[in-house]
Amino acid sequence: MPDLARPLALVAGAFALLLGLPAQAQSAAEPPSSEAIVDAFEAVLGPIRTHRPSHAKGTCAAGHFVATPDGTRLSVAPVFNGQRVPAVIRFGVGVGNPAGPDTGRTTRSLSIRFETEAGDIWDMANISAPIFGSPTPQVMVQGLLARRPDPATGRPNAEAVAAFIAANPSTTNQARWLAATLPPASWATTPYWGVNAFRFRGTDGEVRHIRWVFEPRAGTQRLTEEQMRSLPSEFLADELRRRVAAAPVEFDMVLQFAGPGDDLTNPTVTWPDDRPRAVVGRLTVTEVAPGPGGACDPISFLTLDQAPGIEYSDDPTLHARTGAYAVSLSRRLQ
């Protein structure tokens, strides 16, 4: 399969497969309901009752987060109070099957639940690509419908996929990035982007539009082409366990501030590299679960804001996430 076609075919398992609905459920102009979103996951992947539809493969970890003085200044949210805030962490692989390979050209994920001593909770889900796979829920709907497998062949209709891409070229941005970028050599050595814009309210009362990235203190390291062919399909979890047993793994949380003309609602485009940045905190990973399961398993990372310090932007793909996560969790708990 050509380099670009493969990540496009895998986009359903690479976090971009977050939105969608059956064709008859709603018109293209209406946003999908939470139930319809999860129905669409199952239309592509089949019934899902034992694992997450997106980034199904993962490992639980734990650690803490401490805001920098800049973080405390830029957000009045409790997580940025400057104290040590415990964190439940999940590292994932962008596959729709928990047995998928660790070596594929898909995204990796870093999901975090922060909980202060006072019980304030903030969740986030980040991926190892700076862009998302769809500009709007409606476009992702169309992409999912184009990729539904034909019952007779078990494969999507190639002409329908090609027509969708031709009509929606921005949906190839993430796939092109993945095709051109070697996969991470470790969960600890890749940046993780939030991809969506949020509003941060600072102690000065000013509201700033930002995106964030978690940058690995160990630096970025990627697999070679040879390692992609030779490494086992399961290596990331054991590598992380060995690494954390030797020393904690750390990431700096870095904000990027929107500038004039930057798109605040389209996560398929990046902002220019010259935009101002600030290091607002450090995430430290101190423990990794010894095997499958752990504290992260029942968490769907739903609490995406801590208003007024951290609030949603107007990005429609961001607003669609919480309800779909909740429905997916409820079906797994049935």
Annotated catalytic residues are 55
Residue from 108, 57, 67 nearest 87 by CA: 67
Q: How far is CA 222 from CA 104, 148, 177, 183, 321, in A?
A: 12, 32, 14, 6, 29
Which token pair is 26? 């709603």
For tokens 């998302």, name the residue: 132
Is there a contact between 285 and 188 (Cβ–Cβ < 8 Å)?
yes
d(CA 45, CA 35): 15
Q: Which helix (H) or strand (E) holds 141?
A: helix 137-147
Q: Are 15 and 109 in contact (CB under 8 A)?
A: yes
CA distance 192 to 125: 9
> 133, 111, 164, 161: which is closest to 266 by C-alpha?
133
110 residue type, one letter: L
Longest Cα separation, the chain = 61
Residue 126: strand pairing partners: 110
Cβ neighbors of 167 (< 8 A, separation 6 or more) are 142
CA distances from 158 to 149, 168, 179, 212, 266 (A): 10, 15, 19, 36, 26
Distance in angstroms between the alpha carbons of the first and the last residue of the chain: 38
